Amino acid sequence: MTARVTTLKSAEAGLYYVEHLPSYYLAEDEPPGRWQGRGAAALGLAGEVRDGDFLAVMAGLDPRTAEQLGRRHGDDSVRGFDVTASAPKSVSVLFAVGPPEIRQAVLDAHDEAVGAMVGWVERHAHTRFRIAGQIAVVDAQGIVAAAFRQHTSRALDPQLHTQVVIANRVLSPDGRWLALDARTLKVDQRTLSALYHATLRSGLTTRLGVRWQEPVNGIAEIADVPEVILARFSSRTEEGLAG
């Protein structure tokens, strides 16, 4: 399983992505984050993620007006959730050593797969509030997500992955901004992983005619890539971390 969900707490949660995360990578080679989700669009957020807007959202504020989006966060409040999708090592190596047109095809397939994963989260996102004195679970009308794509691990091995930060504020059917009911989000990690990998394989097969080994737990490496090559670029494999 290479789609992992991490809960983000405390007022420092957003700072990691704008201050600490870039220091682990060759910053000049990594792209800025990109906004995703209908909730982001409702806040006027699109395209490149700017630090101030991101930090405002993670603080539970409207980045345009600094008004509270629902209940004020406490010091230990959940600010959001990091859903990280990592490509198989053979795909990362193909991106690292391929010519420009191959590299772009790999990125396009990866971004498409991440988009499919985020779309699934948004379609299944829900929140809770009282109706006639009873707690009701209702579908959310949109999530606010910032996708940060990285191309290497902290050890600077090839490791294509995207960290999708989903703010703990969703647009409810009555127009309010409420907390995301994330009780099932971690339970859905296997579904998110399977969706990401299946979409990635389909995209690379369509774009490049890639052949695959038999999937194991929904994950497959590109066929005919020597194991010695994968091992050569996997100095952090034993830690099980992408970034």
Evaluate if residue 23 carries a pLDDT over 60: no
- C-alpha 67/C-alpha 65 separation (Å) is 5
- Condensed to tens digits (0 to 9), the pLDDT of residues 153-176 reads 777 778 899 999 999 999 988 889
Q: What is the mean pLDDT of the chain?
A: 87
Instruction: Look at residue 224 and give its three-state secondary structure.
Output: coil
Weakest mean pLDDT among 67-71, 135-139, 180-184:
135-139
- C-alpha 150/C-alpha 2 separation (Å) is 15
- Condensed to tens digits (0 to 9), the pLDDT of residues 90-134 reads 999 999 989 999 999 999 999 999 999 999 999 999 988 877 677
Are 221 and 215 contacting, i.e. CB atoms less than 8 angstroms apart? Answer: no
- C-alpha 25/C-alpha 162 separation (Å) is 13
Q: What is the CATH number of domain 3-239?
A: 3.30.930
H/E stretch holding 148 reads strand 145-152
- C-alpha 6/C-alpha 9 separation (Å) is 10
pTM score, two decimals? 0.88
Q: Which among 225, 109, 131 has a CA at the least distance from the CA of 176? A: 131
Percent of the chain with pLDDT over 70: 89
Evaluate if residue 216 carries a pLDDT over 80: yes
Instruction: Look at residue 162 and give its three-state secondary structure.
Output: strand
pLDDT of residue 22: 62
For 143, which DSSP code?
-
- Which residue type is seen at 24? Y
- Condensed to tens digits (0 to 9), the pLDDT of residues 136-149 reads 788 899 999 999 99
Task: Retrieve residue 107's tokens.
Answer: 């990125």
Q: ∠ at Cα 141 (136, 143), nearest 5°?
A: 110
For 216, which DSSP code?
B
Residue of higher predicted confidence among 188 and 108:
108
Evaluate if residue 49 carries a pLDDT over 70: yes
Evaluate if residue 229 carries a pLDDT over 90: no
Computed on alpha carbons and rounded to an integer, the radius of gyration of the chain in Å comes to 19
pLDDT of residue 29: 64
- C-alpha 119/C-alpha 198 separation (Å) is 14
